Structure 1
Amino acid sequence: MLAENLANLVKKERLEGRLEANQATARNLIKLGVLTDEQIAEATGLTTAEVQAFRAEDKH
């Protein structure tokens, strides 16, 4: 039981780390201003809506 809980925790941490890395990549690609939201979403695995939200944050 403890080993299973630890394995699940490690898996969750890895997924969160990947998500944070993909979000950072999306923000950097937005700053470059070369790709569309759809291209950034495809490259990072995020949704177009998430990329659009980052772009909106960047404008504020």
Structure 2
Amino acid sequence: MTNIKFGIAGYGKMGKIRELSINEYKYATLVSIYEVSECKHYNKDIVIYDSFENRF
């Protein structure tokens, strides 16, 4: 099966819950997070964006 890449828009309470849900599936990978406020994440492979324009 093909690995599906996900990005999360907003990393508050629901964003963290979504991350946990993504991590439960072996064919899903979290690759980016969009958050306007400061966001520190333990996984350096995940790209953090502060605007939708900077994603591209």
**Same-fold status (TM-score > 0.5):** no
Q: Greater share of strand residues, 1 or 2?
A: 2
Q: TM-score, normalised by structure 1?
A: 0.30
Q: Greater share of helix residues, 1 or 2?
A: 1
Q: TM-score, normalised by structure 2?
A: 0.31
- Larger Rg, first or second structure (1 or 2): 1
Which structure is richer in relative contact order (CA contacts within 8 A, separation 6 or more)?
2
